[in-house]
Structure 1
Amino acid sequence: MARFHPLPVTAVDRLTDDSVALTLAVPPGLREEYRHAPGQHLTLRRVADGVEIRRTYSICSPAPAPGADGPRTLRVGVRLVDGGAFSTYALKEINVGDELEVMTPAGRFTLEPAPGLYAAVVGGSGITPVLSIASTLLAREPGARFCLIRSDRTTASTMFLEEVADLKDRYPERLQVVTVLSREEQQAGLPSGRLDQGRLTQLLPALLPVGEVAGWFLCGPYGLVGQAERALRSLGVTKARIHQEIFHVDGGTASGPASTAPANSTVTVRLDGRGGTWPVRDGETLLETVLRNRPDAPYACKGGVCGTCRAFLVAGEVRMDRNFALEPEETEAGYVLACQSHPRTETVELDFDR
């Protein structure tokens, strides 16, 4: 069960004009709880003017090896979002010595290190989880190679520029880095411009043997991830080899038509070993119903992106507004996103503990 703990900030490193990296110390008694797989994320919480704000940020530091102690520190990257309540706070107010409420790691955008060729297409802050994935893979598995294709606006806006360069210096024969800038010409390398489906379809086969890549990791804005997936599918890559994590989705992208929930619907929930049954108010998501009665229910983005509120549908039927977090095999197995789910039957039963 995911839980929040206060962790002290030990470093605030400015990455670009609009982004920082926060380093958090993990006390010995909590290190097992914060053991994470490469690519997982943390949810940070604060209360401002009586309103609770939660935001999810990927861990960029390498994951601890199996059998080793849990992490002594955790590092996340935060990019400023226009009007962002938490990102503005992170860039302008957080200082060394402050304590942040941090949920234990979650997320399934991960890679278990194994021999083979892996690749990533990332945009902007999408580099954050991939930096953890690549650094962990290359350190643990001598038989692995990694190709990183990253898209940024300009060199000055590129997050973790030095960290990626250091990783390239450490593994020059096993790490390939390709950078495309959309608003700045480079003296060497690829021409500037956006990475869309057409460009990626031509570029990827020129960089690496696409069919030999064991796993593709796509991370960043919704548009780039979608374009990259379509390019890969057109090149014959199976969906099972494509892993996605979206950092931001604009409104108006619901995946299904709206429908009215049955009158007098109820949801029965198992959460952290305890159960309860409550009525669903008209227009509520199942997560909203649960939170009215169990404030400890897990959630972060409430936008169908992070997957923190994943639950197993034990009984009944639901309609999800949108889903950018669950893989097809997860939905086929019966998992749903509580933050996007509305009842389609009078009774629905969810299990957050599976």
Structure 2
Amino acid sequence: MFHPLRVRSIERLTDDSVAVTLAVPPASREIFRHKPGQHLNVRYTADGEEIRRSYSICSPATEEPDEPVLRVGIRLVDGGRFSTYALKELAVGDQVEAMPPMGRFVLTPRPGSFAAIVGGSGITPVLSIATTLLAREPAARFCLIRSDRTALSTMFLDEVAELKDRYPDRFQLVTVLSREEQQAGLPSGRLDEDRLAALLPALLPVDGVDGWYLCGPFGLVRAAERALGGLGVDRTRVHQEIFHVDDGPGADTRPRATAPAHSRLTATLDGRSGTWPVEDGESLLETVLRSRADAPYACKGGVCGTCRAFLVSGEVRMDRNFALEPEETDAGYVLACQSHPATPEVELDFDR
């Protein structure tokens, strides 16, 4: 369910990014109290078309009785209708519709050593994670390895520098610029698998890290995942969130599946169930949306995970998956926006 929220402030971060803070009414405080690392799904209507996007919350998580602070980072995307609207038209006092915070790319503060490898706007959820962790848990350490194009394109530069000043013994920062040489620090260039495999053991004891958080473009996240695997890091300690996927290596560009003749979908959503025929070529999310406009979704690209559902019975084929962990797919969860029936009868449960 979407809730109307007023824009409290807009702060320009770089030439192509802003931080937008949304005011939470007192009656909605508890449903909008986020966990560090979660995101907001927002929507607005342009030219009669509903547009939804997902943006990570960069502000630290709060606890009662403090008011929740919803501050999201938005970077301009070529052709992106919501990001263009946010950077060029959105104003303080405007109303934005948002769903309650969601997402499983989270870190509950606890003692230990944690690290993140991020690229570009991938800093957004990790900023919330690191800030919350270091403030709440004195026995925690955090290492941030971030990659950006240039210093001027780096989001939340001041906020990260403040963390370094506030927690000099517990916060380690390593910055790599891919298109600009730094006066000090690492040479410029991309953080690919080979470079990460050599860099990480030199920075910190890899085996002693309790949780790795990878966030950013598909290429960086996959390179970091492979590097960590090659260094013997247990996959259960690696968490990832992909912000952008090109139709390049790793992206599944196979044609959409054709549903078996006369296939039907039964779906449960908010305690109500229905059964509908699946039309040729459509995803299971599209099938549900024909009758239930309240079905959850945001990106429709297999990235955000908003349409996650439990496969009760039947079989499906997912075109691609960049949101669910292997443990989730093994447990029976699928992305409805990417799923097509592989059996005549399929049943999904969005409530689990």
Note the alpha carbon deviations across 1:187-217, whole angstroms, 9 max, x for none. 1111111100010011000000000000000
* SS at structure 1 position matched to 2:210: strand
> Which residue type is aligned with residue 33 of structure 1?
I
Q: 1:7 aligns with which of 5, 8, 31?
A: 5
Note the alpha carbon deviations across 1:261-285, whole angstroms, 9 max, x for none. 1111111111011111001000000
Residue 160 of structure 1: how far off its partner (Å): 0.2
User: Contact 1:300–1:308 at 8 Å: present in 2 too?
Assistant: yes
* Normalised TM-score (structure 1): 0.97
Note the alpha carbon deviations across 1:3-52, whole angstroms, 9 max, x for none. 21010001100000000000001011001111111100001100101111
Q: 1:247 aligns with which of 203, 223, 243?
A: 243
Q: 1:119 aligns with which of 96, 115, 118?
A: 115
Q: Distance in 2 between the 1:332 and 1:230 partners?
A: 21
Summarize the alignment of residues 208-287 of structure 1 with structure 2, pairs less than 5 Å apart: 208-251=204-247, 253-254=251-252, 259-287=257-285
Residue 259 of structure 1: how far off its partner (Å): 3.7
Alignment CA distance shift 1:302-1:160 (3 Å) = same
Q: Provide the residue aligned with 1:85 in structure 2.
A: 81
Alignment CA distance shift 1:70-1:30 (3 Å) = farther
Q: Provide the residue aligned with 2:315 in structure 1.
A: 317
Residue 258 of structure 1: how far off its partner (Å): 5.0
Q: Distance in 2 between the 1:226 and 1:73 partners?
A: 31
User: Contact 2:14–2:153 at 8 Å: present in 1 too?
Assistant: yes
User: Contact 2:22–2:70 at 8 Å: present in 1 too?
Assistant: yes
User: Contact 2:267–2:349 at 8 Å: present in 1 too?
Assistant: yes
4+ aligned runs moved over 4 Å, structure 1:
255-258
Q: Provide the residue aligned with 1:186 in structure 2.
A: 182
* SS at structure 2 position matched to 1:146: strand
Q: Provide the residue aligned with 1:166 in structure 2.
A: 162
Residue 72 of structure 1: how far off its partner (Å): 3.5
Q: 2:142 aligns with which of 143, 146, 149?
A: 146
1:198 aligns with 2:194: yes
Q: Provide the residue aligned with 2:20 in structure 1.
A: 22
> Which residue type is aligned with residue 210 of structure 2?
A
Q: Provide the residue aligned with 2:325 in structure 1.
A: 327
Count matched residues. 350
* SS at structure 1 position matched to 2:172: strand
Q: Distance in 2 between the 1:69 and 1:57 partners?
A: 25
Q: Distance in 1 between the 2:247 and 2:227 partners?
A: 24
Note the alpha carbon deviations across 1:48-93, whole angstroms, 9 max, x for none. 011110000000001123xx13643300000000111000000000
Query: How big is the alpha-carbon RMSD for the aligned residues of Structure 1 and Structure 2?
Result: 1.1
Alignment CA distance shift 1:255-1:317 (3 Å) = farther
Residue 260 of structure 1: how far off its partner (Å): 2.4
Alignment CA distance shift 1:349-1:159 (3 Å) = same
> Which residue type is aligned with residue 335 of structure 2?
L
> Which residue type is aligned with residue 353 of structure 1?
D
Q: Provide the residue aligned with 1:54 in structure 2.
A: 52
Q: Distance in 2 between the 1:328 and 1:256 partners?
A: 21
Q: Provide the residue aligned with 2:62 in structure 1.
A: 64
* Normalised TM-score (structure 2): 0.98
Q: Distance in 2 between the 1:38 and 1:297 partners?
A: 25
Summarize the alignment of residues 270-309 of structure 1 with structure 2, pairs less than 5 Å apart: 270-309=268-307
> Which residue type is aligned with residue 56 of structure 1?
S
Q: Distance in 2 between the 1:225 and 1:73 partners?
A: 28
* SS at structure 1 position matched to 2:290: helix
Residue ranges of structure 1 left out of the alignment (5+ in a row): none
User: Contact 1:27–1:72 at 8 Å: present in 2 too?
Assistant: no
